[in-house]
């Protein structure tokens, strides 16, 4: 799933092009992708977007007149593409905005499950839709992070991924951040020492910034992730093979030497917890 670095790189790339000319025609949209019906999609026709904004893992495209906002959430398999005038696009996009002059913004989704979503909202509705999100992960800082960690006792990996607590981090960047901070994915938020909170805050910023820089240059997953998707590969810091552990419905990757003092973590699958 695209997370903050991926979405922010997209936002920067789309900001200019989507505001260059007014929308000629909004749609078509797959019935499962478009989550709203009032106002109708056609009410975008003829309006100009101010550009691209981002909140957590979502992109927002407000209209210049301040009346409407297009919200896009790509989920796991959704992808956005900007097509130049005349460039051939997918036959059946999940969602499309055609601009005057011929450029198009298209959303596609691989596989049969349609999970990506597009919402056409008024600004007050968009605000309500996004109200549950926690503060942005990038630039959070040790002070604010310390308050968040102290507020409820949670294991770090699921806490970092919880969008209501911190917005923008998912499974991949949790793996990268916790490895960079040399903290166990199962460490308990309320039990961190002050220097560990500092390390975690620094790692959130440095890893997300590293990811953003790479994604802006068009780097793929292999060149971007160092821990995520690297099961069995040598840890870049100490050479120990990267291990994995199942936690609830997720697989977490970590270095047993850098992060857990040599301990191998035991699986805590949801199925076993329910038994």
Q: Return residues touching Zn ion (CB under 5 A).
A: 235, 237-238, 240, 255, 257-258
CB of 259: closest distance to Zn ion in angstroms? Answer: 7
User: Between 105 and 255, whose beta carbon lies closer to Zn ion?
Assistant: 255
Q: Nearest CA to 175 among 127, 134, 216, 229?
A: 229
**Other beta carbons within 10 Å of 225:** 18
CB of 73: closest distance to Zn ion in angstroms? Answer: 34
CB of 258: closest distance to Zn ion in angstroms? Answer: 3
CB of 232: closest distance to Zn ion in angstroms? Answer: 13
User: Between 235 and 253, whose beta carbon lies closer to Zn ion?
Assistant: 235
| In the block, residue with structure tokens 């959704």 | 78
Q: Are 108 and 79 in contact (CB under 8 A)?
A: yes
Maximum Cα–Cα distance across the chain: 61
Q: Determine the residue with CB nearest Zn ion.
A: 235
User: Between 5 and 256, whose beta carbon lies closer to Zn ion?
Assistant: 256
Interatomic CA distance for residues 228 and 230, integer angstroms? 5
Q: Are 11 and 54 in contact (CB under 8 A)?
A: yes
Q: Is the peptide bond before 36 cis (omega within 30 degrees of 0)?
A: no
User: Between 7 and 253, whose beta carbon lies closer to Zn ion?
Assistant: 253
């Amino acid at each position: 799933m695209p997370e903050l670095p991926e979405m922010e790189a997209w936002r920067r790339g789309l900001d200019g092009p989507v505001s260059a000319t007014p929308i000629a025609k909004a749609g078509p949209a797959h019935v499962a992708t478009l989550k709203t019906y009032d106002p109708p999609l056609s009410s975008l026709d003829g309006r100009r977007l101010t550009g691209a904004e981002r909140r957590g893992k979502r992109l927002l495209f407000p209209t210049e007149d301040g009346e409407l906002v297009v919200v896009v959430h790509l989920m796991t398999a959704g992808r956005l593409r900007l097509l130049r005038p005349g460039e051939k696009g997918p036959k059946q996009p999940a969602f499309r905005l055609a601009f005057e002059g011929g450029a198009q913004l298209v959303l596609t989704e691989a596989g049969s499950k349609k999970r990506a979503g597009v919402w056409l909202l008024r600004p007050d509705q968009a605000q309500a839709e996004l109200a549950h999100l926690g503060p942005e992960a990038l630039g959070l800082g040790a002070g604010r992070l310390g308050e968040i960690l102290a507020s409820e006792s949670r294991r770090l990996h699921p806490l970092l991924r919880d969008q209501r607590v911190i917005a923008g981090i998912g499974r991949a960047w949790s793996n990268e951040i916790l490895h960079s901070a040399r903290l166990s994915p199962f460490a308990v938020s309320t039990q961190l020492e002050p220097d560990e909170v500092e390390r975690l805050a620094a790692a959130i910023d440095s890893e997300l910034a590293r990811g953003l820089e790479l994604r802006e240059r068009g780097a793929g997953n292999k060149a971007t992730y160092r821990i995520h998707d690297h099961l069995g590969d040598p840890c870049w810091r100490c050479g120990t093979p990267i291990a994995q552990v199942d936690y609830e419905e997720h697989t977490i990757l970590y270095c047993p030497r850098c992060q857990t003092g040599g301990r191998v973590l035991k699986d805590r699958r949801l199925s076993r917890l329910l038994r």
